[in-house]
Chain A
């Protein structure tokens, strides 16, 4: 049953890959084929967003829902995966910016906010690694993640207001500068859904690996 879902995901993302290069048309106003990287960039940034929100929710559940170790583990793994997807989103966005705006990096509001998000969750992992006691590690890092959840909205509201942005409007509010064709929207949404499913699969595997290694080291200590 589990494998059937996995194979469905394999077919789904294969179709997305083919669709991104063969089915979707090129966007107007983009240089050459550069718009095709968006079919991977948008899902990556979406997944990192989902991962960070999920980490915050799991941290809240840990702090106010009975302090279960599984919630702490889930939050930590979500942050790790969110950082991986966030770095991929930054790199793909930066490659695209080189083609469209002429520079890999120019502190566009979106670039600034993702860098601050990466710094924040990098700090989260640094905090975890500097706490040895498992209980205080879970407790303090969960508090820090919730603090981030409270501060993040300010970053997203302030940035676009203070600075002028060249970044295309996101797909959901499609009344933006760049007209998004329906076939592009289909591939973008399918890609976002597929990569979100991939994220939860990876998350499940990594959580189980960490729980197994914890149980094994507990057994080794006992015996």
Chain B
């Protein structure tokens, strides 16, 4: 596959964005879990 000068920038941007996205997704999942555990406690 041919990557021009811009192609590399697009690739790096997409990797950073995907990394941030997966981190946020995991954060949301962990938040839901600890919210559920806090609901059960009292």
Contacts and interface: CB of A to CB of B under 8 A. Distances in A.
Interface of A: 2-3, 6, 9-10, 13-14, 17-18, 21-22, 33, 36, 201-202, 205, 208-209, 212, 215-216, 219
Interface of B: 6-7, 9-10, 13-14, 17-18, 21, 24-25, 27-28, 31, 34-35, 38, 41-42
Contacts, number: 47
In terms of DSSP, what is the predominant structure of the interface of chain B? helix
Contacts of B41: 219
Contacts of A10: 17-18, 21
In terms of DSSP, what is the predominant structure of the interface of chain A? helix
A17 B17 contact: yes
Closest 4 CB pairs of A and B: A21-B6, A17-B13, A21-B10, A10-B21
Given A209-B31, A212-B31, A212-B38, A6 B9 contact: no
B38 A14 contact: no
Given A21-B10, A212-B38, A14 B17 contact: yes
Given A13-B17, A205-B31, A6 B6 contact: no
